[in-house]
C-alpha cells in the first residue's frame, strides 16, 4: 500500500510539473515549433508549399502566440504614436499578413532543419524573457534564433524574432522609418498592402 | 609560429587606416553606407545579370542534380570552409574550437573522401563559421563602407579584404592544372549561389526595399558574429521610446 501511495504521489508531482512546464515560455516555444514542424512533415501539400494551406497552418498554430500589435508598434518606433487608431489597425493587419507570408516562405524553405532548445535563464516572476533556440542544417553552421517573449494576460507571447543577430522588428523599423519619412504613415500602409498584393499574385 | 599572425595584424592595421580614409572622403546618406547611390546602381546591375543568367543556372542545377550529389559538392567546399574557420579560430585565440575545426577537416578529408562526406557532423563535431573579416573585426578593424558587389553580394571594405585574403592563400589556387582549377572555382560559385536561393526567396517576400533590408541584415549579422553573439546594444533612441510608449493608448 505505501508503495501505491508513493507512486500516486510521484504521478501527481509529475503532472504538476508538466502543467508548470506548459506555462513556461521555453516549453511553449518548443511545443509550438515541434507541433508545426510535425504537421508539415506529415503533409505532402504543406511540403510542396501550397500557399493557402501553409497560411492556414501558420494562422492556426503560430499567430495566436505572437503579439502582432506590439510587433507593429515596435517596428513603427516613435511613429506609432503619430498614427491614428484607424491607421494603427490597418498597419497591424498589413504587417501581420506580411509576416505570415514571410514565415510561410521560410517554413517551406527550411523544413528539413532540426531545432535545438537551449536552457532558459529566467527568474521567478520575470515577465519578459528571451527564449534561445538553434537551428541546425546538414553541412552548415548552426543558426541562432531567439524569441523575445512577454507574459500577457493571455499567456506568453513573442514580440520579436532575432535570427543570427538580425532582429525582425529592428530591421523593419529602418524600412518603416524611411517610407514614413518620404510618404507618411498612409504611404507605409499603401507600401505594405501593395507588397502583400504582389506576393499574393505570385 | 608567431609570424603569420603578426603580418596579418600589420595588414589589418593598414586596412584600418584605409577604411577610415575611405569613410572620410565619401560623405553620403548614412554612416554605414556612405556609398549608397553607387551601391544601389551596382545592385541594379546585379539584379539584371544575376537574374537573367546566374540565378536560372543555379535553379537548374538544383532541379537537375540529385540531392545526394549536391550535398557532396557542398560538403567538399564546406570542408575548405572548415579549414579557414580553424585558421581564423587560431588567429582569434579560440584553441578549443580550432581543434574541433581541424579535427573535422582531418576526418572529412581522409575518411570522408576529400570532404565529400561530412563525417565530422555525423559524429557530432559541431561546424562553426569564422572568416578573415570576423578576425579583422575582432582585432579592431572597422568595417569601413558597405559595398554591394555584383555577382558576389553584400560586403564591406574589411570583409571584402578578408575574402580576397582567403582567395589568395586558398588551396585551390595551388592546383597547377588551369582548366581543373577554374572548374572547381566555377562549381564552388554555383554551389554557393544555389545555397543562397532559399534565403533570397525569403528576402523577396519580406522586404519592402530589398537593397536596404539586405544591407541592414548583413551589417547586423556581421556585428553579431564579431561579438560572438553578444553585440553591444544599439544607440537607437527609437528602441527606448518605442518600449515606453508602445502600449499607451494613442492620444
Kindly report, residue by residue over B48-91, the tens digit of the pLDDT. Answer: 999 999 999 999 999 999 999 999 999 999 999 999 999 999 99
Q: Phi first, then psi: what are they for A30, rounded to 5°?
A: -65, -50
Quick: pLDDT tens for B39-53. Answer: 999 999 999 999 999
Nearest CA among B105, B164, B102, B104 for reference residue B133:
B164
Cell representation of residue B161: 579584404
B positions 75-94 inside 8 Å of A (CB): 75, 78
Identify all chain B residues contacting A73, using CB atoms and an 8 Å cutoff: 242, 246-247
Is residue B203 within 8 angstroms of chain A, CB to CB? no
In B, minimum Cα distance to A103 occurs at B202
CB A67 within 8 A of CB A159: yes
Partner residue opposite B250 with nearest CB, options A88, A142, A173: A88
Is residue B124 within 8 angstroms of chain A, CB to CB? no
- Per DSSP, B50 falls in state I
Strand-pairing partners, residue A66, are: A158
Identify all chain A residues contacting B128, using CB atoms and an 8 Å cutoff: 141
Q: What distance in Å separates residue A61's CA from the closest CA in chain B?
A: 20
User: Are B224 and A165 an interchain contact pair (Cβ–Cβ within 8 Å)?
Assistant: yes
How is the beta sheet containing A114-117 ordered, strand by strand?
A114-117, A128-136, A143-152, A155-163, A166-167
- Per DSSP, B170 falls in state -
Task: Report CA-CA distances (Å) from B46 to B52, B56, B163, B218.
Answer: 10, 14, 19, 17
Cell representation of residue A145: 534564433
Q: What distance in Å separates residue B232's CA from the closest CA in chain A?
A: 11
CB B39 within 8 A of CB B33: yes
User: Are A164 and B221 an interchain contact pair (Cβ–Cβ within 8 Å)?
Assistant: yes
Is residue B228 within 8 angstroms of chain A, CB to CB? no
Task: Report CA-CA distances (Å) from B232 to A121, A148, B225.
Answer: 20, 17, 12
Nearest CA among B63, B51, B93 for reference residue B228:
B93
Question: 3-state SS string over chain A?
Answer: CHHHHHHHHHHHHHHHHHHHHHHCHHHHHHHHHHHHHHHHHCCHHHHCCCHHHHHHHHHHHCHHHECHHHHHHHHHHHHHHHCCHHHHHHHHHHHHHHHHHHHHHHHHHCCCCEEEECCCCCCCCCCEEEEEEEEECCCCCCEEEEEEEEEECCEEEEEEEEECCEEHHHHHHHHHHHHHHHHHHHHHHHHHHHHHHHHHHC
Is residue B250 within 8 angstroms of chain A, CB to CB? yes
Tens digit of pLDDT per residue, chain A (202 long)?
Answer: 556 666 666 655 555 544 444 578 888 998 888 888 888 888 888 877 777 888 888 888 889 999 999 999 999 999 999 999 999 999 999 999 999 888 888 877 776 778 889 888 888 888 899 999 998 877 788 889 999 999 998 889 999 999 999 999 999 998 999 999 999 999 999 999 999 988 776 5
Is residue B241 within 8 angstroms of chain A, CB to CB? yes
Beta-strand relationship, A155-163 and A143-152:
antiparallel
User: Are A85 and B201 an interchain contact pair (Cβ–Cβ within 8 Å)?
Assistant: no
Quick: pLDDT tens for A64-103. Answer: 999 999 999 999 999 999 999 999 999 999 999 999 888 8
**Residue B251: band (very low, low, confident or very high) from pLDDT cuts 50, 70, 90:** very low
CB B39 within 8 A of CB B152: no
In A, minimum Cα distance to B250 occurs at A81
ipTM metric: 0.80
Which residue bears the cell 544575376? Answer: B50
Q: How many residues does chain A have?
A: 202
Question: Which residue, among A70, A81, A145, A178, would best test binding to B if mutated, counting the most B CBs under 10 Å from its CB?
Answer: A81
CA separation for the pair B247, A150 (Å, rounded): 13
Beta-strand relationship, A155-163 and A128-136:
unpaired
- Per DSSP, B227 falls in state T
Is residue B233 within 8 angstroms of chain A, CB to CB? no
Identify all chain B residues contacting A104, using CB atoms and an 8 Å cutoff: 205
**Hey, which bits of B51-163 come out as E strands?**
146-149, 153-156
- Residue B247: per-residue pLDDT: 42
CA separation for the pair A24, A155 (Å, rounded): 9
Task: Report CA-CA distances (Å) from B113 to A138, B13, B105.
Answer: 17, 39, 11
Quick: pLDDT tens for B132-189. Answer: 999 999 999 999 999 999 999 999 999 999 999 999 998 898 999 999 999 999 999 9
Q: What distance in Å separates residue B200's CA from the closest CA in chain A?
A: 10
Partner residue opposite A83 with nearest CB, options B238, B242, B250: B250
User: Are A76 and B239 an interchain contact pair (Cβ–Cβ within 8 Å)?
Assistant: no
Amino acid at each position: 500500500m505505501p508503495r501505491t501511495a508513493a507512486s500516486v504521489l510521484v504521478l501527481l508531482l509529475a503532472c504538476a510539473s508538466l502543467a508548470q512546464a506548459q506555462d513556461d515560455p521555453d516549453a511553449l516555444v518548443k511545443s509550438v515549433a515541434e507541433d508545426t514542424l510535425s504537421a508539415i512533415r506529415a503533409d505532402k501539400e504543406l511540403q510542396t508549399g501550397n500557399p493557402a494551406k501553409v497560411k492556414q497552418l501558420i494562422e492556426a498554430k503560430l499567430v495566436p502566440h505572437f503579439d502582432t500589435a506590439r510587433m507593429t508598434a515596435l517596428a513603427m518606433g516613435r511613429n506609432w504614436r503619430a498614427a491614428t487608431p484607424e491607421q494603427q489597425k490597418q498597419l497591424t493587419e498589413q504587417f501581420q499578413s506580411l509576416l505570415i507570408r514571410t514565415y510561410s516562405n521560410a517554413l517551406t524553405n527550411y523544413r528539413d532543419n532540426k531545432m535545438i532548445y537551449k536552457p532558459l535563464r529566467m527568474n521567478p516572476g520575470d515577465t519578459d524573457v528571451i527564449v534561445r533556440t538553434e537551428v541546425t542544417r546538414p553541412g552548415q553552421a548552426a543558426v541562432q534564433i531567439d524569441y523575445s517573449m512577454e507574459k500577457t494576460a493571455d499567456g506568453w507571447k513573442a514580440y520579436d524574432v532575432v535570427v543570427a543577430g538580425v532582429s525582425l522588428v529592428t530591421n523593419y523599423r529602418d524600412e518603416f522609418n524611411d517610407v514614413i519619412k518620404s510618404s507618411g504613415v498612409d504611404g507605409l500602409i499603401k507600401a505594405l498592402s501593395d507588397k502583400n498584393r504582389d506576393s499574393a499574385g505570385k | 609560429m608567431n609570424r603569420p599572425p603578426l603580418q596579418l595584424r600589420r595588414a589589418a592595421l593598414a586596412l584600418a587606416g584605409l577604411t577610415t580614409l575611405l569613410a572620410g572622403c565619401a560623405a553620403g546618406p548614412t554612416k554605414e553606407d556612405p556609398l549608397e547611390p553607387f551601391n544601389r546602381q551596382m545592385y541594379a546591375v546585379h539584379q539584371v545579370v544575376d537574374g537573367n543568367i546566374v540565378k536560372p543556372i543555379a535553379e537548374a542545377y538544383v532541379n537537375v542534380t540529385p540531392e545526394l550529389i549536391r550535398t557532396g559538392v557542398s560538403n567538399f567546399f564546406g570542408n575548405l570552409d572548415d579549414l579557414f574557420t580553424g585558421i581564423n579560430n587560431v588567429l582569434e585565440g579560440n584553441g578549443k574550437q580550432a581543434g574541433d575545426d581541424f579535427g573535422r577537416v582531418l576526418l572529412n578529408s581522409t575518411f570522408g573522401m576529400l570532404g565529400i562526406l561530412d563525417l565530422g557532423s555525423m559524429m557530432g563535431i559541431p561546424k562553426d563559421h569564422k572568416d578573415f573579416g570576423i578576425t579583422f573585426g575582432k582585432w579592431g578593424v572597422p568595417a569601413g563602407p558597405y559595398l554591394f558587389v555584383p555577382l558576389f553580394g553584400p560586403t564591406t571594405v574589411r570583409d571584402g579584404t578578408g575574402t580576397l585574403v582567403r582567395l589568395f592563400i586558398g588551396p585551390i589556387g595551388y592546383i597547377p592544372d588551369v582548366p581543373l582549377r577554374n572548374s572547381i572555382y566555377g562549381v564552388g560559385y554555383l554551389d554557393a549561389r544555389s545555397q543562397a536561393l532559399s534565403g533570397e526567396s525569403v528576402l523577396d517576400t519580406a522586404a519592402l526595399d530589398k537593397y536596404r533590408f539586405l544591407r541592414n541584415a548583413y551589417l547586423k549579422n556581421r556585428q553579431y558574429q564579431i561579438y560572438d553573439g553578444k553585440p553591444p546594444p544599439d544607440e537607437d533612441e527609437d528602441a527606448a521610446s518605442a518600449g515606453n510608449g508602445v502600449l499607451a493608448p494613442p492620444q
